[in-house]
Structure 1
Amino acid sequence: MFKSSYFAYRLDCCHVFVLFSCESLRGSSTVKKPAFAELHQKLAETVQKMKAADEEISCLKNSMQHARLMDSEITRLDTSTKIYESVGRMFLLTNISDLHNHLENKSETCAEKIKILESNKSYLERSQKDSENNIREMIQQRREKAQETN
């Protein structure tokens, strides 16, 4: 898609492409190359962390839905019904109220974890935007210097 002398960075969350030439960085000072590499690494790490947070949020939502579904099915049962709860490889005989409490606690902890992950994700999104802006700024400064010399 691109020549080997060009780099393209696709940022998965917002589908932004940053395209720049290797030649544009060759004449730059030695301070800019490591700074650009550091910004790019930070951006890649941020995108990776956001993907992991999305996956974990999805998993927690599925777990909450499963707990709610099981709770709704259990409430339909008669109180004298024997219920076995899975614990590792074994099943323990429990009563309906204990299992109901366990499922409520599981659902609440999942909801709390989702809130924490979403707040972390909003921080990561701000960090990603800052990194993108810094990269654009660095490229723009280099272009302005190249135009001044020509």
Structure 2
Amino acid sequence: MARDVLVLNGPNLNLLGTREPGVYGAATLADVEASCRQKADALGLSLDFRQTNHEGVLIDWIHEAGRRGAGVVINPGAYTHTSIALHDAIKGTGVPLIEVHLSNVHARETFRHHSYVSPVASGVIVGLGPQGYLLALDAIAAILSK
């Protein structure tokens, strides 16, 4: 039986490949999705890959994951540093969740050093570029196997 995983991407991640390539790299979100699909297939995961620029949509998707009993890999983008509502949705649903960031947020501007998501995440992966998503899928697969 396939295990469900939602890979959720927050604001401005649709601009990957063109937005600050020195920080985020040259891979597009479509490239990241293709790699994730390949990895998910190898892990026996059913993958649902999404992106939105809207906080409320991310929250709705986390609620959906909770209802479905799905795991979540999330790159919340800038909402990482601002969204108490995202924190509350994750905590309230209890979804197993891995937080991912392409860049090392701790080596960047001070305002990026705090995450509202990390305290309610099962794990956090930062600074490894698109490879971080693949490692997050390994982690969520292990969590869902328990």
TM-score, normalised to structure 2, is 0.22
Q: Which structure shows the bigger proportion of residues in helix conformation? A: 1
Higher Rg of the two aligned structures: 1
Q: Which structure shows the bigger proportion of residues in strand conformation? A: 2
TM-score, normalised to structure 1, is 0.22
